[in-house]
Amino acid sequence: MRQSQIRYLGLVAAALLLVAACGSTTGGTASPSAKVVKVGLVTDIGGLNDKSFNHLADVGLEKAKVDFHIQGDVTESHTGGDYIPNLTHYAQLNYDLVIGVGFLMQQAVGTVAGQFPTVKFAIIDGVGTDAKGNDLKLPNVVSLVFKEQDAGAMVGVIAGMMEKDKLTPGKTNVISAVGGVSIPPVNHYIAGYKWAATMEDPGIKVLVGYSNDFTDPAKCQSVAKAQIAAKSEVVFQVAGGCGLGALQAAGQAKLFSIGVDADQGTADPSVIASALKKVDVATYTAIQSVVNGTFQSGALTFSIVNGGAGYQLDNFPGGALPADIQTEVDSVMAKIKAGTLTPPDTIPAG
Amino acid sequence: MTVIGDILRLLTTADLWQAALAASVLLLLPALGGVISERSGVVNIAMEGMMLTGAFFGVVADLAWQNVWLATLVAIVAGGAMALIHAVVSIRFRADQIVSGIAINIFAAGMTVFLVRRIYGVQDIGHVGPSELLPNLSIPVLDQIPFVGQVFFQQNVVVYIALFLLVLVQVVLFRTRLGLRIRAVGEHPHAADTAGINVYWIRYGAVITSGLLSGLAGAFLAIGISNTFVPNMTDGRGYIALAAMIFGKWTPLGAFLACLIFGLGEAIYANNSTIHVSQYLLSMLPYILVLVVLTGVIGRSNPPAADGIPYVPGAE
């Protein structure tokens, strides 16, 4: 009696899991026709609604769907264990291009791309690696990488100039960044931010903290609150969904914050600007290369130079940057484009 | 040794303790629920799922009705509804309580993600955010006391409620007839039954109460602290509450002490921008503390005798 009830429960749990799994596959499964290019997009655990790079990858895919009349399907991953099955699913169906979104999927893309040498793969923010993290340099994988430090530098100039011009309430000369986890894509942003702020205002103090999380807003909020208690007046979030909590912490303290990856101006009134990583441009470019038959393995780098990184002004007090800050932002951007200034990709000491 | 100096300096700031208390209350509510449920003899590892359900429906209700109190009520009821499932499965059908708890946790995680998609499309509900939030309340006069005022009297309204509930649960469990009945049912249900106590109703009540408390914690997380719903946002807090309950030897005050240690650890970790040591090391701190205290100070902790054993009348 008892045994059968346990088994019944197990069945219920399995059925529920199945429902959850099915609910996450979006996009149509149109009947395959000979000429239509098929693109499969697999998100990382952040999910499509992260208002950040998974979301932007989807935006790029949608734009490509309209422009190139391709078939585009999306699968969301809920755990790290979903990456390989989700990628394999599209590869087995002989999709023309399978896109993995995010650094966290490096090894999964490396594994699956090795098993399906005739299918083309693209990975955002990483390369296809083996279990030890070595780049496999597979001929069917293109890496879409970003110079996040370019975007970080632009918002760093704004934050640094605000302190230098004493536009913040406390004039403490302290700003900060909340990172998710200390991994290269996160630290690139922070490196550019700190480098540029220090360049504009040599006396500035830049606090750098991590939440060890990309999804739980409460964690980033407490890290940001601690930074605000240590006199920070501008908080730059580099932690995806978790970072929404950092933006709110700045808002509650009537201070300023900076969004990341996508335009986060509507996330909180305190967001003065966002550092942009144009994953949509990168995704679109990769799909375009497959459609045009110009696909090449290796790395495609997106930076300020080719419009793949930049900044967006949001709820800056008064609606526009003061003239001197705007001039400085434009000048730094021009210098980075010209190659006379190069933001570092590791966080400067001090 | 500047690290230890940094931490000691932090421990003297009211900011740190204020944050620690708020973080520990988030664990205290589900831990209290766990204490009540297990004292009555029903193992409850489903606080995580109940809390997540509460968080989700709290945000949905807040967006729908723009009334934070109504939303909190909905969150509490949603937590209670999940608990009712656990109660029916483990009391009425006498199924394995661990399995039922796991099923509820997985179900809650899947259901909330599924419903986010269904109700809000692929738009980011977290980004929309609830329209109204549970307020922070400063108690007049008392909040002016140096240090203590900031720590205890400048908090979110839920913190006051939770501290009141802590005292209430402690008193009810150990100083009232109802508490005696709950404990009797958890220790020796057959004797309790003989004495005329309805074992089933006490257990149903206790399990559902644990869901109500977890639901309130979910509301605090989603519309008090984070002001957003993000899939899986409870992030294991229900399990940490479970650990706090065991650490506290199934007593409310003991569980609160454990929650304080975890909360303090979280609050110290949040300062990793100014403490110059590996943040990973810092994040281990509360767990190391608990291991040390568990092995050195607390000693054996025994669950209620009938914990996890379904009650079958006359089957002793």
- Any domain includes B308: no
Q: Is the pLDDT of residue A28 over 50?
A: no
**Is A125 found in the same domain as A183?**
no
Mutate to test the interface with B, among A6, A16, A314 (most CBs of B within 10 A): A16
Q: How confident is the model at residue A15 (pLDDT cuts 50, 70, 90)?
A: low
**Is A232 found in the same domain as A154?**
yes
Mutate to test the interface with B, among A12, A49, A210, A252 (most CBs of B within 10 A): A49
Q: Is the pLDDT of residue A29 over 90?
A: no
Mean pLDDT of A206-223: 91
Nearest by CB to B272, from A13, A210, A266: name it: A210
Looking at the complex, does the CB of residue B277 fall below 8 Å from at least one CB of chain A? no
Find out whether B21 and B150 touch, Cβ atoms under 8 Å.
Answer: no
Cβ neighbours of B154 in A, within 8 Å: none
Nearest by CB to A244, from B116, B126, B269: name it: B126
Q: Is the pLDDT of residue A76 over 60?
A: yes
Count up the domains in chain B and report the number: 1
**Is A100 found in the same domain as A182?**
no
Q: What's the pTM value of the predicted model, to 2 decimals?
A: 0.81
Nearest by CB to A9, from B103, B122, B266: name it: B103
**Is A194 found in the same domain as A331?**
yes
- Any domain includes B144: yes
Looking at the complex, does the CB of residue A48 fall below 8 Å from at least one CB of chain B? yes
Tens of pLDDT along A325-343? 999 999 999 999 999 999 9
CB contact (8 A) between residue B233 and residue A229: no
- Any domain includes B300: no
Q: What is the mean pLDDT of chain A?
A: 88
Query: What's the confidence (pLDDT) of residue A104?
Result: 85
CB contact (8 A) between residue B103 and residue A16: yes
In terms of C-beta density within 10 A (0-12 exposed, 13-18 middle, 19 or more buried), how is residue B132 classed? middle
- Any domain includes A186: yes
Its domain, for residue A139, covers: 32-146+280-302
**Is A128 found in the same domain as A56?**
yes
* CATH number, position A261: 3.40.50.2300
**Is A101 found in the same domain as A167?**
no
Please tell me whether the interface predicted TM-score (ipTM) of this complex is above 0.90: no
Length of chain B as a residue count? 316
User: Residue B111: which residues within 8 A CB-CB, separation 6 or more?
Assistant: A16, A20, B53
**Is A158 found in the same domain as A140?**
no
Query: What's the confidence (pLDDT) of residue A21?
Result: 46
List all residues of chain A from 18 to 37 with a beta carbon under 8 Å from chain B. Answer: 19-20, 23-24, 26
Helix (H, G, I), strand (E, B) or coil at B180: helix
Least Cα separation, residue A20 to chain B (angstroms): 5
Query: What's the confidence (pLDDT) of residue B298?
Result: 65
CB contact (8 A) between residue B279 and residue A209: yes
Least Cα separation, residue A143 to chain B (angstroms): 26
**Is A246 found in the same domain as A294?**
no
Helix (H, G, I), strand (E, B) or coil at B195: coil
CB contact (8 A) between residue B26 and residue A218: yes
Mutate to test the interface with A, among B274, B277, B282 (most CBs of A within 10 A): B274
What residue of A is the nearest CA neighbor of B233? A216
Alpha-carbon dihedral B24, B27, B30, B34, rounded to 10 degrees: -90
- Angle subtended at Cα A162 by Cα A157 and Cα A167, rounded to the nearest 5 degrees: 170
Helix (H, G, I), strand (E, B) or coil at B299: coil
Least Cα separation, residue B124 to chain A (angstroms): 5
Q: Which residues of chain B have pLDDT under 70?
A: 1, 121-130, 296-299, 316
**Is A325 found in the same domain as A183?**
yes
Query: What's the confidence (pLDDT) of residue A30?
Result: 43
Say which residue the tokens 């980011």 belong to: B124
Residues A248-265 as b/e (b if ≥16 CB within 10 A, e otherwise) read bbbbbbebbbbbbbbbbb
pLDDT-wise least confident of A28-37, A120-129, B155-164, B244-253:
A28-37
Nearest by CB to A221, from B127, B225, B230: name it: B225
Looking at the complex, does the CB of residue B233 fall below 8 Å from at least one CB of chain A? yes
Tens of pLDDT along A235-249? 999 998 889 899 999
Looking at the complex, does the CB of residue A219 fall below 8 Å from at least one CB of chain B? yes
Looking at the complex, does the CB of residue B280 fall below 8 Å from at least one CB of chain A? yes
Count up the domains in chain A and report the number: 2
Report, in angstroms and rounded to the nearest whole number, the Rg of chain B calculated over CA atoms. Answer: 20
Helix axes A53-68, A279-291, angle to 10 degrees: 40
- Any domain includes A298: yes
- Report how many Cβ contacts below 8 Å link chain A to chain B: 149
Measured in degrees and rounded to the nearest 5, phi and psi for residue B91 equal -95, -55
List all residues of chain A from 180 to 209 with a beta carbon under 8 Å from chain B. Answer: 182, 207-209
List all residues of chain A from 247 to 276 with a beta carbon under 8 Å from chain B. Answer: 248, 266-267
Its domain, for residue B130, covers: 28-254
Query: What's the confidence (pLDDT) of residue B8?
Result: 87
Query: What's the confidence (pLDDT) of residue B128?
Result: 52
**Is A294 found in the same domain as A257?**
no
- Any domain includes A347: no
Nearest by CB to A215, from B89, B123, B230: name it: B230
Mean pLDDT of A297-306: 92
- Any domain includes B188: yes
In terms of C-beta density within 10 A (0-12 exposed, 13-18 middle, 19 or more buried), how is residue A173 classed? middle
Find out whether B126 and B228 touch, Cβ atoms under 8 Å.
Answer: yes
Helix (H, G, I), strand (E, B) or coil at A257: strand
Mutate to test the interface with A, among B227, B237, B240 (most CBs of A within 10 A): B227
- Any domain includes B81: yes
CB contact (8 A) between residue B233 and residue A213: no
- Report the alpha-carbon distance of residue B133 to residue B2 in Å, rounded: 39
What residue of A is the nearest CA neighbor of B224? A218
**Is A225 found in the same domain as A298?**
no
- Any domain includes A5: no
Query: What's the confidence (pLDDT) of residue A242?
Result: 87
Query: What's the confidence (pLDDT) of residue A275?
Result: 95
**Is A329 found in the same domain as A181?**
yes
Helix (H, G, I), strand (E, B) or coil at A175: strand
Residue whose C-alpha is closest to residue B232's, from B49, B119, B109, B53: B109
Least Cα separation, residue A22 to chain B (angstroms): 9
